[in-house]
Amino acid sequence: MTDETRKFLVPLAERGELRHEATTYGRSASELPLHVYGPVDQEAEILLMASVHGDESDTTVVLSDAMRSIRPGAIRNPVVLCVNPDGVLRGTRCNVRGVDLNRNLPTANWSPQPLRYRGHGQDKQEIVLGTGSAPASEPETQALLELIGRLRPRAVVSLHAPLACVEDPQSSPLAGWIAQESGLPLVPDVGYETPGSFGTWCAEQGITIVTWELPAEPLPALLASHVPVLQKLLTGCYPGRVAPRG
């Protein structure tokens, strides 16, 4: 940890409660509030988000741990702790309508065909989910797109699990720094097609997109390896600045 980051941290005894103010940016399909934390009244350099897939809730826990270690008012880059609260509460990859939100974006390659995915600990992509009745059919997708339209982030860092890599087809300096700091390999793709994905949509909009795939490790190991990197991203203590949107 650098001295620059340390000045933003609170004592361990004060890290039990999330003390940052939330702004509601929409509602889920079951009417749960969708919250964003940090500055929302200005254009963002980086938007961080977690739990696009509800069965990857460890991403929310890790990101929350980093946020709870930072004093109120010191978060520079906005955060969506849970894109898919309905899925997290049900332990499902999809939202309450059975739609994979990471295949519901209005991209040039969006497809109405059901997708097959590989569950945790499985070898084959055999579980079937929907992609929505139309591109951006889901309220969670609509709300996220509206939020991004307001914040106009130069980059988005999206936490997933458990592929243990940092994915960025452009190998941006931001992705390279995250890979180096976290000890994960930097890769151009995850090895399979992702029509209608958030990554594809960001690329089409000229937004740098870094998909940070946490490894399948016990939670204490995840916290030790990744929270210090997230603290730097949240407080702006990382080298350089993200290039303007293309």
Tell me if 243 is assigned to some domain. Answer: no
Tell me if 42 is assigned to some domain. Answer: yes
What are the pLDDT digits (tens) for 197-242? 999 999 999 999 999 999 999 999 999 999 999 999 999 999 876 8
First to last CA, the chain: 33
237 phi/psi in degrees, rounded to 5: -95, 55
Label residue 2 by pLDDT band (50, 70, 90): low
Tell me if 245 is assigned to some domain. Answer: no
| Lowest-confidence region among 18-27, 137-146, 187-196 | 187-196
Strands 46-49 vs 33-37: parallel, antiparallel or unpaired: unpaired
- Which of 56, 138, 140, 213 is catalytic? The answer is 213
CATH number reported for the structural domain that contains residue 23 in this entry: 3.40.630.10
Q: Is 94:87 a contact under the CB 8 Å cutoff?
A: yes
Residues in the chain, total: 246
**Count of structural domains, the chain:** 1
Tell me if 246 is assigned to some domain. Answer: no
Residue with tokens 């690329």: 203
Tell me if 99 is assigned to some domain. Answer: yes
Is 213 considered catalytic here? yes
Expressed as residue numbers, the domain containing 148 is 3-235
Structure tokens at 5: 């980051």
